[in-house]
Structure 1
Amino acid sequence: MLQIIHSEELKTSTGKTFLKIKYNSNENWIYTDWIGYPTPENVAKGAIAYLEAMQANNLNRVLNDNRNLVGRWDNALDWVEQVWLPIAIKAGLKRFAHITHQDSLSFKAASIMQNLIRSHIEMRVFTDPEAAKLWLREHTN
């Protein structure tokens, strides 16, 4: 039974949801569902929000779902490396499962991100959400 402890939706200035953040007590990770076109501002706002939710719930894993994204977010990779990474380390992030489509622009950006953070945070890129969940379940610490 899914018991949602934390649920939040972040919206653009025009009122469109660009990120849903959820935590349920059964899985003990933060689930993020990115939606629409990812602007650098939305990427930054959303990434900080899910790290805050992770830390507030004393978690160390994120299931980051990009299957509902349209467009690219590789223009935020410098920010990810220079700003997000130190915050993520301080917040206690240990494992980051990233779900995307194999042929999407997000897949390439996620692969670059994986290389940028690999010495600090364990990250894997998946096209199968069940495989991503299984990987997170195998790494509970």
Structure 2
Amino acid sequence: MEALTRIVHRANGQPYCITECRPAEGWLQTTWLGFVTPADAEQGALAALQPLCQGPVAGLLNDNSQIKGPWFDSITWLKHVWAPQAERLGLRYIAHVAQPHTEDDMEALFERNPFGQSIDLQVFTLPEDAAAWLRDCLHHHAQPAEAPPSNPAKPQVTST
């Protein structure tokens, strides 16, 4: 089955948020590009939640490695607006690839998981590490007798 893609563009036509349903992997992948304003981030994050895959999707690989400039830091908006919608769609695991050189800021910001017990969040520096963690989580999710390989109370930053 082929990946389905949704692209959110700026007024000038330039893409800044690309979301793909990756059925072979079992997750959504959102890639952010260039300079992203808070309004762009909200619009792109909400667009990423619009049904793109058939059926619920438990994983999201959120890749900020190509963002330039300040990153979107509205934890309050994510917690109170975005997360409830994500939960309703079945999202359980977020593998967040941090913007380069912001790993320490991300770890401090996400010291306590803003999503509580409902969504496991881990922060990574490399997309391939994020994908490996997400694969493990989804494997464990499919086999509920095993615990997922994460600590939902405190997200981790993984560097290699």
TM-score (norm 2): 0.75
Q: Which residue of 1 aligns with 2:57?
A: 59
- Specify which of 11, 19, 25 is matched with residue 27 of structure 1: 25
User: Does the 8 A contact of 2:106 with 2:123 survive in 1?
Assistant: no
Quote the offset at 1:99 in angstroms.
Answer: 0.7
| Ranges of 4+ aligned residues in structure 1 off by more than 3 Å | 53-57
Quote the offset at 1:47 in angstroms.
Answer: 1.0
- Specify which of 56, 73, 76 is matched with residue 74 of structure 2: 76
Structure number having the greater helix percentage: 1
Quote the offset at 1:51 in angstroms.
Answer: 1.6
User: Does the 8 A contact of 2:36 with 2:72 survive in 1?
Assistant: no
Q: Which residue of 1 aligns with 2:109?
A: 112
**Any stretches of 5+ residues in structure 1 without a counterpart?**
none
**Any stretches of 5+ residues in structure 2 without a counterpart?**
142-160
Q: SS of the residue aligned with 1:31?
A: strand
Amino acid corresponding to residue 125 of structure 2 in structure 1: T
Instruction: Specify the structure having the higher radius of gyration (Cα).
Output: 2
Quote the offset at 1:24 in angstroms.
Answer: 2.3
Alpha-carbon separation, structure 2, partners of 1:70 and 1:94? 28
Percent identity over the alignment? 28
Instruction: Count the aligned residue pairs.
Output: 138
User: Does the 8 A contact of 2:37 with 2:72 survive in 1?
Assistant: no
Q: Which residue of 2 aligns with 1:87?
A: 85
Quote the offset at 1:54 in angstroms.
Answer: 5.7
Amino acid corresponding to residue 42 of structure 1 in structure 2: D
Q: Which residue of 2 aligns with 1:14?
A: 12
TM-score (norm 1): 0.84
Amino acid corresponding to residue 92 of structure 2 in structure 1: K
